[in-house]
Amino acid sequence: MYLKTLHLREFRNYRDRQVEFGAPKTILVGDNAQGKSNLLEGAALLSTLKSHRSTSDRDLIREGAELGQATGIVDRQIAPVELSVTLRRTGRRTLTVDGQGCRRQLDFLGIFNVVEFSSLDLDLVRGSPESRRHWLDGLVVQLEPFYAHLLKQYDRVLRQRNALLRKIRESFSPMANRTDPSQQMSDSALPVLDAQLATLGTKVMRRRSRAIERLTPIARAWHDAIGGGAEQLSIRYASNISLFHPSAIREEPEVVRQGFLDLIREKAIAEYHRGTTLVGPHRDEIAFSINETPARQYASQGQQRTLVLALKLAQLKLIEEVVGEPPVLLLDDVLAELDPNRQNQLLEAIEDRFQTLITTTHLGAFDAQWLKTSQILGVRAGEICSQGDFSP
């Protein structure tokens, strides 16, 4: 797929700017804080309906404006499609596909696929388990947009359950000669929420596990190619319902659901005291190891970079396999963070197979051939110009 145009209105520091992408590779060059990442963020929004830098639409709308909008025309094998997201300060959004309103996010997601790779991703290995869950969830949504709906339902039940646990804890009175809160827990709506949590959680786990299983061999192959094959990468989906092997999570959902419920029962008193849900995929981990050593604790900077690069390249290929069209790659300020060998691996892997939008503060990292075949746009204070119109 190919993003032909992107039109940003009152979006971040863009008043009203349309960009035509005239080559498979576009390099956006400019000083810091000029709007390069903002442009990539606008493109990503049309794919994921999310920003990896902000959770509030208010941040995305230009200061002083009421509405912000990102619109793009994406060429796909079947036909070109126009996608548009309108943001409001109230948080209400309007999504349209070819001018028709979409009632559900689900009808919008999955039309345009991207892989984002920014310098923030370089913390994926060392960062919190939450950042790895986010990364995996983002990938699964690209592969199966329905997963976004599942996650939302799971989160809703999780929030209700946590609120109820806190309420039970607050209302429980040992003064009334009761020492065990179990009765109060089972008399409440908790068992209903437990069942919902287990059903939805099993589905979430199954999809996560499936994605890791498919991604692993591709990431390993890239890891070997970048690192010369000296180190062996393993990726393990470490479910919080740890009684189960990943293959059981994929193939025996009913057994897993029952195990999930058993574990909830086992942890009931701990959950009561903590006032929060301790069982479920919101506590999953994705464990990376290099030569059987946990990467989170022991990987060097260089090893982490190789690993993240291998994961991103694997994501591109996996999405292409599943969706049937190459996704668009958004490289935000990441080349400068990679050494020449890793830069070359990345640039060679991209060639012209994936449309790529790259931000950079200087063009020094690119070889002459790349510069010759790329569209180069200058970005300055929310304005975009062809190279030569101004020199950033």
Judged by the rule CB under 6 A, the positions of this chain that interact with ligand ATP are: 12-13, 30, 32-38, 59, 61-63, 333, 359, 361, 379
Least distance to ligand ATP, CB of residue 54, Å? 8
Least distance to ligand ATP, CB of residue 25, Å? 18
Query: Which residue, 38 or 343, has its beta carbon nearer to ligand ATP?
Result: 38
Tokens of 27: 């390099």
Tokens of 227: 């690192």
CA 111, CA 297: separation in Å to the nearest integer? 38
The overall longest dimension of the chain from CA atoms, in Å, is 81
Least distance to ligand ATP, CB of residue 44, Å? 12
Burial of residue 386, with CB atoms counted within 10 A of its CB: 0-12 exposed, 13-18 middle, 19 or more buried: exposed
| Residue 138 labeled ligand binder | no
Query: Which residue, 54 or 293, has its beta carbon nearer to ligand ATP?
Result: 54
| Residue 234 labeled ligand binder | no
| Residue 315 labeled ligand binder | no
Query: Which residue, 32 or 100, has its beta carbon nearer to ligand ATP?
Result: 32
Degrees, nearest 5: CA angle 377-379-380: 150
Least distance to ligand ATP, CB of residue 137, Å? 24
For residues 149-184, one letter each, b for 16 or more C-beta atoms within 10 angstroms of the residue's C-beta and e for the rest, the string is ebbeebeebbebbbebbeebbeebeeeeeeeebeeb
Query: Which residue, 97 or 120, has its beta carbon nearer to ligand ATP?
Result: 120
Q: Are 168 and 181 a contacting pair, CB within 8 Å?
A: yes
Least distance to ligand ATP, CB of residue 69, Å? 13
DSSP secondary structure letter of residue 374: S
For residues 63-91, one letter each, b for 16 or more C-beta atoms within 10 angstroms of the residue's C-beta and e for the rest, the string is eeeeebbbbbbbbeeeeeebbbbbbeeee
| Residue 37 labeled ligand binder | yes
| Residue 32 labeled ligand binder | yes
Query: Which residue, 63 or 254, has its beta carbon nearer to ligand ATP?
Result: 63
Binding-site annotation, residues: 30-37
Binding-site annotation, residues for ATP: 30-37
